[in-house]
Amino acid sequence: MSSVSKRKDKSGEYSQAMGKWEVKKDAAVRLLSLYDEIRPAIKEHERDSQDWQQVWRRNGYKQAVINIEFDL
């Protein structure tokens, strides 16, 4: 293989690698943008989940107290 054709092969590989890198970079930017859009809903869900856990614990405690009272 001549040095010119080797350079063309390397140049083509480089272009291909850069093209893939650009695609990955664009995908990462789009994913971050999408996450920024849905972040408020995620935060709200986390707050709701914490509220429900507190209610569940409180109700579980009440139920345990009721059960103890009936056992006495």
- Percent pLDDT > 70 in the chain is 81
Rg (Cα) of the chain, in Å, rounded?
29
Q: What is the distance between the alpha carbons of residues 10 and 49, in angstroms, rounded to a whole number?
A: 54
pLDDT in tens, 48-65: 877 777 777 777 777 777
Give residue-wise pLDDT tens across range 31-54.
Answer: 999 999 999 998 888 888 777 777
Identify the band that residue 2 occupies on the pLDDT scale cut at 50, 70 and 90.
low
- Mean pLDDT across the chain, nearest whole number? 79
Alpha-carbon distance of 44 to 48, in angstroms, equals 6
Would you kindly state where each structural domain of the chain is located, as residue ranges?
Answer: 14-71
Helix (H, G, I), strand (E, B) or coil at 54: helix
